[in-house]
Structure 1
Amino acid sequence: MKKSSLAGAVSRRKFLKGAGCLTVAFSMTDTWAAVGEVVANDRLPDSLRRHPRVSAWLEVLADGRVRVFTGKTELGQGIRTAIAQVAAEELDLPMERVELVLADTGRTPDERYTAGSASIESSAMSVRYAAAAARQLLLERAAQKLGRPVAQLQLENGVVSTAGGKKLTLADILDGKQIEDEVRLPITLKPKHTYRLVRKEVPRSDIGRMVRGEQVHIHDLRLPGMVHARVIRPGSYQARLKKLDEAALRQAVPGILKTVVDGNFIGVIAADEYAAIKGQTYLYQHAEWSVPDTLPAGKSLAYHIKELPAKTERVAEKGIIPSGSGAVIKASYFKPYLMHGSIGPSCAIALFEGGNLQIWTHSQGVFPLRDALQKWLKLSAEQVHVTAVPGSGCYGHNGADDVAADAALLAMAYPGKPVRLQWSREEEHAWEPYGSAMLMELEAGLDNAGKISHWKLDLWSDTHSNRPGGDPSKLLPAWHRKEPLTLKTSGFSGGTARNSEPYYTIPNLQIDTHSIAGPLRVSALRSLGAYGNVFAIESFMDELAEKAEKDPMAFRLMHLSDQRAITVLTKLQELLAAQKVSSGEGIGISFARYKNTSAYCAVAAKVAVNAKEGSVQMQQLWAVVDAGEVINLDGLKNQIEGGMIQSASWTLKEEVQFDARHVTSRDWVSYPIVRFSDVPAVAVTVVDRPTEPPLGAGEAAQGPTAAAIVNAVYRACGKRVRHLPVRPDKVAG
């Protein structure tokens, strides 16, 4: 890969002009509708309304291929394949003739973050509509050139042809120009019964590249003249540098090119990676810090977060919650701090050259990162160019933005050379923003028919998003410079309350969130508050079913009115009908609709518990999911499978530990995760609804899986685990 410069490459418009492209505008008519095709009259996706021009989403290349642009990035969810599928489908192109450009501040539309299971709902649908509009315009232009009505033209494999044999390629139609029309409703979409690619299991091309060890991730990227860097972190969140001997470092470690000291921020730049690591190790051993005790070590975390000052907000209210001493059921549930625990530690490359800063990063939001960096480093937005490169594992806000900021600061101190900076495993574990600990206190009543008469939830949690969002105070190195920035927490209570309202029909309901500032650094982790909330709700539903002397499945169904929710549960019931359990085994179920607006997911877990040892063995996981229209069946199944296994790991093993100074979970021994040998058989059944809009599914399985496992453990050994993780001491005996 050639060294990149920002000159002349800071906007899509400059990019197109630099390629010699002119613009042409066509008027859109309802041509396809006239021949009885399907017409979309619904609301345009948010991303498309912000960037309405066709050229923001695609361009026709000189060889007839189509280049598609998306502001979303590939996190392992397969968005590269799914977006290419919808574009190729609407334009009647084979997949290999569609090129995808992801998340680049100089080329793609600004779609903020790849988050919230919204890539299909927003970005893929924007591309679908833009491609459908482009097809219509291309056919109209071809009709003018060929002297034939649109209805007599056929578009296939990038060629428009007539029955008489006349042909035009897409490039011929546009004469080197691009489509600058805005996409407006109504839009004529391709009829679903003619689909060749959508709803099919189109393989992801990047999987083979990973298996072959080719360059896929940011960790693999190598640029000409590249140097390597490492950062020396303080001993705790509040530590201060007392003494550092730079001269001694240069004598002890050959190959050090530069040491950067800015307040409590320390970085070393070296000619090769090994020298940078040796320099980092030396400074960790010889730098002197003041390290105060500031963390609540030795205390019950659930008790501690409840005692912290809190901002209370009522997020849902319906009917009247009875007061007094009536017959009620109460239970308290707890979720600890959880790591992203990315398999590949955070990594970035930065180049400062000619006054411009180029960043290669696996951030989930290249535009918000650019905005934060340009404010922090006192550059203009035009001087900062951020390009997304996939990272090795993350759903949520891990250290990707922080390491990009580290690299940017060091690149500006050592201009003209690409500076590569990769965190160590210890740094990743100790300094990433964690998923917040959560305490959920639930109360409910049952009427004479065994139905829920009232429901009350009090929820304590820190924020579930401290993404940069243009705010440099959320970047880790910004806290450590000589002129430090103080973190301005977003207080994103929407993430805290996500899925806090049960998706069941309950006449009287009250939900209060109590937002606190906890002791550890936190931000977005996959599903945000939904994991903890659904774990609590669906565990409580099982407890209520037992009090009501109802079957857990029947109890849920009697409280549901949404037929799609009923369908996923009844299909799950059918899958479990033939299952047998032996002594020490149990099957648990759970259900949720992610955000109460997105994908429906019902999960069952079968476990075996050794009560003597307290061990829990997962035997099988089942899921039934309804995500509306399916784009890539294999990709959807992969998302649910991966979500179930990740959730099982959170539920059974994971918990961030800390002492009075800092996090002590700094490797895979002190922070264990599910291993390949622990993974059970996983079966996913998809309810395809081609006439319904596609729904985000990447975060649908986390909460239901946790509750299904805990409910299964209860059935296997009679122990109800309300405080995660499910450690041996909680089920033994």
Structure 2
Amino acid sequence: MSHDPRALPAGLRNNPRLSTWVRFAAARTVIVTSGKVEIGQGIATAMAQIAAEELDVALDRVRIAPLTTAGGPDEGITSGSRSVGEGGAALRQACAEIRHILIVAAAARLGCSADAISVADGAFLRDGTLTALTYWDLPHATLLERSATGTVAPKPPAQHRIVGRPAARRDLPDKVMGRPRFLQDIDLPGMLYGRVVRPPTGEVRLVGFDAAKLRAMPGIIAVIEDGSFLGIVAAREEQAVAARAAALKTARWEDISLPTDSGEISDWLVAQPNRATIVADRRDGSAPKGPLRHVSARFTKPYLAHGAIGPSCALARAASGGWEIWSHSQSLFPLREDIARVLQVPLDQVLLTHAEGSGCYGHNGADDVALDAVLLSRAVGGRPVQVQWMREDEFAFEPYGPAMVVEVRAALDIDGAIAEWELHGWSNGHLSRPGVARTADRSSALLAAWTLADPVPRAPQIDPPLGPAGVEHGGLSRNAISTIYDFPTQKVVGHLVETLPLRASSLRAIGAYANIFAIESFLDELALAAGADPLDFRLRHLADPRAKAVLELAAARAGWTRGAVSDGTWGRGLAVARYSNHLGYFAVVIDLSVDPDLRVTRAVAAVDVGQVVNPDGVINQAEGGIVQAISWTLKEEMRFARDGTRSVNWEEYPILGFSEVPDIEVHLIANPEAPPLGAGEMTMGPTAAAIANALAHALEARVRDLPITRARLLAL
């Protein structure tokens, strides 16, 4: 079947050598390498299903190899709910071409036409009769040393037998049973253990410390002072931990002064000089039915931590004239480039291998700790050193999800329909990962690089711009434009605040969490002003049939009752969105108990992510996203004062506990002919808004500032 070579997926176009993606190994196994890494989202299972489907082999034959920068496909960053849509598309096309190449080779070996050949579990059939020839009998290594052409089409969905069916998550058994699996579990011969000593809060200069006392402690191999970078290497991990604690008691740091504190952050953001960008200004030219009723509201979101259960970790050693590093980074290739720039060595002297970390998503400390490990290993002659951040390091020094302020204004016409819509958002930039803000000078996104005696300048903080319709990403303006709704006028303005009270970067859903929270909360306020049921009000304005479908399904499965009246002890709210305006559709109905505490008791969701590779995987993603969104919405907030961060432990930064997880139902809409859409981040904003709407339904009082706590409720 012919295929348009111009339509090669970007991942395959950038990594066209087929041997990069697949190789056939002993014991009749298939080794697959994807540029999208496993960070707990189940992508390894989905990629195995895609490969098995296209290659016509049993799923249990497929092994997913760890991604390395030595020959693995460079697909950029694993982020933005794009792994299946982008990485899966690249792997699917590569496997389709590999299957075709091997069929042609088998036909030549068997003396027949390729049309007579089919494949069953890697074995070739000739005119339906099984032969003795298999993939593994062919010179596959030689045959796959060629570039993809795009001239072979993948299977149509109607022929799928593995994709679209539930498959057990490959990563879960080890995690559930506590078996070694994570980067933290790697134990190399002769491995040493390191800790980095940083100030209690903030990024400040080291004034002095008692080096002699540290060197005299048991097991200490090296004490490293390089500018304000202070590190310890010990024979055993507990010795490194003890030395770090002793160092903190004697270390002296310059004073810190932040420009504001967490209690003032919202007003501070709006008052700062900012770079305003009009991201949408649309008018359909129709005259509104007057008189108009104007409504406005302001919504806020605090700085949020990633709150990873396992602190960031890395392992480094000298190897082959360069450095070998194990990392749970989501961006191995950009991290390699950044580390090479800091060390001033060629790229080929830095080899990174991905290993799952017990806590990694968004831009947390995974990249920073990789450089920490290299610097400590360098100080002990290149011996292998494992470095793990302490809990307080993780909270105090990771890049946070930026605080945001969102103001929404609208006008209702005489019929109660939305006639005008305007949204303004204020935020710091949402991106400071390695490799995303390349400059001509030797700059770095890595924390340790800025503190060395010969410091590497800090790479600039940026905010990813919105792309054209259909490929929207963006940072502070992600989901600020309401494309699923039909508003006669819509103006959206992003206000980028470049002054940073705290280090900030990418956190799950980027700006969509605050924007959807504001939009879907405000729609309930408009429905109340129009005297309409929140479900009916949305359906009246929704222009996207797939958005309507998920909203109606969630409402039906939850038993939504129009005009339901609360007795003040419970409430029900709903919300809907299409993540990033081009990825997954998600709607949710939340039941909230307000007596004696605010608690979500039930969440019923509907999801449309186009073609589903692994239904269980999508449901897992939705369930996990709902749980985290509840935690963000009811509990989480980075607290800080002008002299630094206060939230450095679980007492100061509480998260949702296991006993607080509600009953969750997730219903999938089958759409196998549609392109696969991402599921990882679609839940965050709608869940937050549905909680706020449920609270307003229960108490006829609205909290617009996150997190929604009893203290904020009592302050109304």
Match of 1:19 in 2: none
CA distance in 2, matches of 1:399, 1:48: 29
Q: Which runs of 5+ in 1 are unaligned?
A: 1-29, 34-38
The aligned amino acid for 1:476 is: L
> Letter of the aligned partner of 1:67 in structure 2?
I
Displacement of 1:161 in angstroms is 2.5
1:701 match: 683
| Equivalent in the alignment of 2:81 | 117
Paired residue for 2:535?
553
> Which residue is 1:662 aligned to?
644
Distance in structure 1 (CA, Å) of the matches to 2:140 and 2:13: 28
Matches within 5 A, 1:404-419: 404-419=370-385
Q: Secondary structure at the match of 1:315?
A: strand
Name 2:71's counterpart in structure 1: 107
Mapped partners of 2:208, 2:144: distance in 1? 61
Residues 250-277 of structure 1 deviation map (CA, whole Å, 9 limit, x = unaligned): 22x1111001101111000000001101
3-state SS, counterpart of residue 137 of structure 1: helix
| Residue 24 (structure 2) aligns with | 60
Q: C-alpha displacement at 1:443, in angstroms?
A: 0.4
**Is the contact between residue 63 and residue 171 of structure 1 (CA under 8 Å) also seen in structure 2?**
no
Report the counterpart of residue 468 of structure 2 in structure 1. none
Task: Quickly say closer, same or farther: Cα 1:353–1:414, change in 2 above 3 A.
Answer: farther
> In the TM superposition, what is the alpha-carbon distance from 1:165 to its structure 2 partner?
4.8
2:269 is matched with which residue? 305
Whole-angstrom distance in 2 between the partners of 1:380 and 1:345: 30
Matches within 5 A, 1:165-204: 165-174=130-139, 176-204=141-169
Deviation per residue, 1:108-144 (Å, 9 max, x gap) = 1111100011100111111111111111111111111
Shift of the alpha carbon at 1:179?
A: 1.3
Q: Distance in 2 between matches of 1:190 and 1:631?
A: 13
Q: Please say if residues 245 and 287 of structure 1, whose CA atoms lie closer than 8 Å, have aligned partners that are also in contact.
A: yes
Conserved? CA contact 2:302–2:403, under 8 Å:
yes
The 2-side partners of 1:154 and 1:299 are apart by: 67
Tell me whether 1:678 sits opposite 2:649 in the alignment.
Answer: no
My pick for the range that moved more, 205-214 or 534-543, is: 205-214
Q: Does 1:530 align with 2:495?
A: no
Aligned to 2:65, the other structure's residue is in SS state strand
Pairing of 1:317-332 with structure 2 (within 5 A): 317-319=281-283, 327-332=293-298
**1:496 maps to 2:476:** yes
476-485 vs 279-288, which moves further? 476-485
- Asked if 1:92 corresponds to 2:56, the answer is yes
Q: Which residue of 1 aligns with 2:362?
A: 396
| SS in structure 2 of the partner of residue 187 of structure 1 | coil
Match of 2:208 among 221, 243, 246: 243
Q: CA deviation at 1:558?
A: 1.1
For the structure 1 residues 424 and 657, does the alpha-carbon distance in structure 2 shift closer, same or farther, using more than 3 Å as the test?
same
Query: Comparing 699-708 with 154-163, which one deviates more in the overlay?
Result: 154-163
Q: Does 1:348 align with 2:314?
A: yes
User: 1:489, CA displacement in angstroms?
Assistant: 2.4
- Is 1:71–1:102's contact at 8 Å kept on the other side of the alignment? no
In 1, distance between residues paired with 2:385 and 2:149? 44
Does the 8 A contact of 1:648 with 1:705 survive in 2? yes
1-structure distance, mates of 2:262, 2:542: 43
More deviation in 575-584 or 565-574?
A: 575-584
Q: 1:416, CA displacement in angstroms?
A: 3.5
Equivalents in 2 of 1:255, 1:491: separation in Å? 43
Q: Deviations over 1:483-531 (max 9, x none)?
A: 2233232421421110001131111111111101230110000010000
- Larger displacement relative to structure 2 (459-468 or 208-217): 208-217
Residues 100-499 of structure 1 mapped to structure 2, 5 A cutoff = 100-162=64-126, 163=128, 165-174=130-139, 176-251=141-216, 253-297=217-261, 299-319=263-283, 327-469=293-435, 472-493=443-464, 494-499=474-479
Q: Could you tell me how far apart the structure 1 residues matched to 2:259 and 2:638 are?
A: 13
SS at match of 1:102: coil
Secondary structure of the residue that 1:450 maps to in structure 2? coil
Aligned-residue offset at 1:298: 7.1
Contact 1:499/1:595 (8 A) holds in 2:
yes
Among 573, 576, 581, the residue aligned to 1:596: 581
Question: Following TM superposition, by how much is the alpha carbon of 1:398 offset from its aligned partner in structure 2, in angstroms?
Answer: 0.2
In the TM superposition, residue 71 of structure 1 has moved relative to its aligned partner by 1.3
Which residue of structure 1 aligns with residue 10 of structure 2? 46
Q: Secondary structure at the match of 1:375?
A: helix
Moved more, 50-59 or 264-273: 50-59
Gaps of 5+ in 2: 465-473
Q: Which amino acid in 1 is paired with 2:359?
A: G
Q: C-alpha distance in 1, partners of 2:4/2:557?
A: 36
TM-score (norm 1): 0.91
Offset at 1:391? 1.0
Q: How does 1:644-663 map to 2 (within 5 A)?
A: 644-663=626-645
Does the 8 Å contact 2:292/2:414 carry over to 1?
no
- The offset of 1:221, in angstroms, is 1.2
Report the Cα distance in structure 2 between the residues aligned to 1:500 and 1:99, rounded to whole angstroms: 40
Question: In structure 2, what is the Cα distance between the partners aligned to 1:45 and 1:108?
Answer: 16
Q: Secondary structure at the match of 2:510?
A: coil
C-alpha separation in 2, matches of 1:575 and 1:668: 36
Structure 1 match to 2:38: 74
Question: Are 1:605 and 2:590 counterparts?
Answer: yes
Q: Shift of residue 294 of structure 1?
A: 2.6
**Do the aligned partners of 1:73 and 1:364 also contact (CA within 8 Å) in 2?**
yes
Mapped to 2, the partners of 1:298 and 1:401 lie a distance apart of 26
| Residues 325/464 of structure 1: CA separation in 2 closer, same or farther (3 Å cut) | farther
Counterparts of 2:10 and 2:153, CA distance in 1: 19
The residue number in structure 2 matching 1:563 is: 545
What is the Cα deviation at residue 67 of structure 1?
A: 1.3
Find the residue that maps to 1:160 and give its secondary structure. Answer: strand
CA 1:645–1:176: 2 relative to 1, 3 Å: closer
What do residues 330-362 of structure 1 show as CA deviations (whole Å, max 9, x unaligned)?
100000000101000000001024531011011
Q: Point out the more displaced range, 560-569 or 332-341.
A: 560-569
**Pairwise CA distance, 1:663:** 0.7
Alpha-carbon deviations, 1:124-172, whole Å to 9, x = none?
Answer: 1111111111111111111111012233223111111224553211122
How far did 1:56 drift? 2.1
What is the Cα deviation at residue 582 of structure 1? Answer: 5.7
The amino acid that maps onto 2:374 is A
> How many percent identity over aligned positions?
41
How many pairs were matched up? 693
User: Any conservation in 2 of the 1:327–1:445 contact (CA below 8 Å)?
Assistant: yes
Aligned-partner residue type, residue 185 of structure 1: G
Distance 1:689 1:320, change over 3 A: closer
1:70 counterpart SS class? coil
1:23 equivalent in structure 2: none
Is the CA contact 1:232–1:280 (under 8 Å) kept in the aligned structure 2? Answer: yes
CA contact (8 A) 1:465 1:490 kept: yes
Change (3 A) 1:689 1:386: same
- Asked if 1:507 is matched to 2:488, the reply is yes
Q: Distance in 1 between matches of 2:5 and 2:537?
A: 39
Cα offset for 1:565?
1.1
**Deviation of 1:397 (Å):** 0.3
Taking the aligned partners of 2:140 and 2:331, their CA distance within structure 1 comes to 35
Which one of the candidate residues 615, 624, 632 is aligned to 2:606?
A: 624
Using the alignment, how far apart are the partners of 2:284 and 2:546 within structure 1?
Answer: 28
Q: What is the CA RMSD across the aligned residues, in angstroms?
A: 2.1
* Contact 1:223–1:418, Cα closer than 8 Å, also in 2: yes
TM-score normalised by the chain length of structure 2: 0.93
CA distance in structure 2 between the partners assigned to 1:533 and 1:191 by the alignment: 37
In structure 2, the CA distance between the partners of 1:247 and 1:630, relative to structure 1 (3 Å rule), is same
AA matched with 1:217: F
